[in-house]
Amino acid sequence: MRSRKVTYSREAAFHALADPTRRAVLDMLRRGSHPAGQIARTFPISRPAISRHLRLLRRAHLVQERREGRRRWYYLNPEPLKEVDSWLEHYRVFWQANLTSLKAFVEAEHAHETKRGKNH
């Protein structure tokens, strides 16, 4: 049997995550698998619209589908989100450094103001 390495497209994941309905579907699936009908009943949009959202999530590999008779069960696949998280890590580092600098500045200003207030 041949080893199969799956690569995930960061762009496909971002495109899928751009829509609030698809993000809500992922949040729902984070708590466990659900059949397509149950997912559709959760949202105030048509079943065909939910089917299109699920298809896009499937193509982005963010969800997996399993058929049981006439039912289609959907599961969250968190692996592609690792690519998104990896991209976001650069921004976490950026913001952490900037927030640390801001904290030091605010603390220095506060100390300066406090010292100046005692001298007057």
pLDDT tens digit string along 12-45? Answer: 999 999 999 999 999 999 999 999 999 999 999 9
Expressed as residue numbers, the domain containing 59 is 10-77
For the entire predicted model, the pTM comes to 0.72
Tokens of 48: 């065909």
115 and 103 housed in the same domain = yes
Residue 119 lies in a domain: yes
Whole-number mean pLDDT of the chain? 88
Residue 88 lies in a domain: yes
36 and 59 housed in the same domain = yes
Q: How many Cβ atoms sit within 10 Å of the Cβ of residue 36? A: 16
Helices 20-30 and 10-17 pack at an angle, to 10 degrees, of 100
Tokens of 46: 């048509």
Residue 38 lies in a domain: yes
What number is the average pLDDT over the span 39-57? Answer: 96
35 and 94 housed in the same domain = no
93 and 49 housed in the same domain = no
If one counts the domains in the chain, the total is: 2
Report the sign of the C-alpha dihedral through residues 22, 90, 12, 62, in that order: negative
- Among candidate residues 62, 72, 69, the one with its CA nearest the CA of residue 25: 62
Rounded-to-integer distance, Cα 118 and Cα 45, Å: 64
**Each residue of 83-106: pLDDT tens digit?**
888 888 888 888 888 788 888 888
